[in-house]
Amino acid sequence: DAGVIQSPRHEVTEMGQEVTLRCKPISGHDYLFWYRQTMMRGLELLIYFNNNVPIDDSGMPEDRFSAKMPNASFSTLKIQPSEPRDSAVYFCASTLRDEAFFGQGTRLTVV
Amino acid sequence: SQQGEEDPQALSIQEGENATMNCSYKTSINNLQWYRQNSGRGLVHLILIRSNEREKHSGRLRVTLDTSKKSSSLLITASRAADTASYFCATDAGSYIPTFGRGTSLIVHP
């Protein structure tokens, strides 16, 4: 397996635009997590899914953020409209049992 | 809120020295894990220690867990320049959902 795959690796967008981040988890993993990493706040858990079902989205900062997992091999995190304070590295991770496998992250810059 | 907090925030040592990082957490856990993050990359799992274990080894890594003090330590022996990275502990607060601290930034000078 190629591991957790995220796209794009880098995204630069203008304030107000819609941004969609994509994640392909490892096949067979039953949990999928979206994290955001910034210098100020460290690694924050935004939302997680179990067997494609959203379980806890209490970490999603605002209604501008939404996430979906239409099937076991694909998830998206959408920000609409984007703001400069959303600039961060967004990570997707999947787990089977305890060990989390992370993607390489998407570095988002909102100007 | 973040469950685990690493200490120190930054650590600078010479190659060959040992590096010790600590993690403190607040609530009961099923397990505690340590991860490494190289600059610009995702986190990589290093080692997992369960709540009923006190010590675990993996190569040059030694992890201890003291559930009475709600703390863990990661020791890297005979450090190498390639060990330069940020190290995070992750706890699950009993829910199997990894929650991370802010990490310890380790610099190993050649």
| Region of residue A72 (phi > 0: left; psi between -120 and 50: alpha; otherwise: beta) | alpha
Q: Cβ separation of A91 and B42 shorter than 8 Å?
A: yes
8 A C-beta contact, residue A110 and residue A65: no
Does residue B82 sit in helix, strand or coil?
helix
Per-residue pLDDT of chain A (111 residues; tens, 9 = 90+): 689 999 999 999 999 999 999 999 999 999 999 999 998 888 999 999 999 999 999 999 889 999 999 999 999 999 999 999 999 999 999 998 788 899 999 999 999
A18 CA to chain B: closest CA distance, Å?
24
At B49, which amino acid appears? I
Q: Cβ separation of A99 and B103 shorter than 8 Å?
A: no
Q: How far is CA B5 from the centre of its chain?
A: 10
Model confidence pLDDT, tens digit, residues B29-65: 888 999 999 998 899 999 999 999 999 999 999 999 9
- What do you get for the CA distance between the two ends of chain B, in Å? 37
> What sign results for the dihedral spanned by CA atoms B23, A38, A79, A72?
negative
Instruction: Give the residue from chain B lying closest to A103, CA to CA.
Output: B42
Question: Which residue's structure tokens are 């802010």?
Answer: B102
